[in-house]
Amino acid sequence: MFPLKGVSFVVTTLTVDKPAPKVCAASPKAFRSIEIDDFVAFVLAGGEVTGQGLRSRVLQAACISYLKSDDCLLGVAGLKSPDSGYRARVAKHSKTKLIEKDFPYELGWIFILPSARGHKFSYPLCQPVVAAANGAGIFATSRTTLAGMHRTLERLQFVRTGSEWPSKQNDGKLALFLRPAS
């Protein structure tokens, strides 16, 4: 039986110097199956995408990135190769040309645990994923209210473009960000 009647618990906080979190980014093939499961679980926790086919889309990504403190996973991000149907929908909603030749990749699946937010980890988490595109064009979508993420996208040389459109997954609107080929 839990909790036990009449038993009180004391929580002690130990203050130790924690090493700074580390980012590990590579092709999905470089990670263990269980690490891919963790990635998928974090993406689903973000509530921005549907779970159907997600694991196989993650395995086909150009690069995925993990933010870890010791062995504890704090965040994820990925460089996807979006399918033509999704690309066409984003282009239509944003009223912007998104030709595959110009923008072969999408930066997405960005999620940081709530308790790890506000520490400026989103830039180091996304930066190696963007670098993995080797200068090819990348697009990203973001809710219009995510001012912090927009700041990180701007630091990564994305420019907000086109019209906003209502999100299917959440309340509010989405906006398109483009990082043209360099």
Give the interface with ligand COA as residue ranges (CB under 6 A): 46, 48, 110-112, 117-123, 142, 146-149, 151-152, 155
Task: Check residue 132 and give left, alpha or beta (phi > 0: left; psi -120 to 50: alpha).
Answer: alpha
Greatest alpha-carbon span in the chain: 67
Minimum gap (Å) between residue 122 Cβ and ligand COA = 3
Give phi and psi for 168, each to the nearest 5. Answer: -80, -35
From CA 133, how far away is CA 61, in angstroms rounded? 11
CA triple 169-100-96, angle to 5 deg: 60
> Toward ligand COA, which CB reaches closer, 94 or 152?
152
> Toward ligand COA, which CB reaches closer, 4 or 72?
72
Minimum gap (Å) between residue 158 Cβ and ligand COA = 10
Task: Check residue 33 and give left, alpha or beta (phi > 0: left; psi -120 to 50: alpha).
Answer: alpha
> Toward ligand COA, which CB reaches closer, 12 or 50?
50
What residues pair up with 80 in beta bridges, in sequence order? 106
> Toward ligand COA, which CB reaches closer, 56 or 115?
115
Minimum gap (Å) between residue 11 Cβ and ligand COA = 25
Minimum gap (Å) between residue 142 Cβ and ligand COA = 4
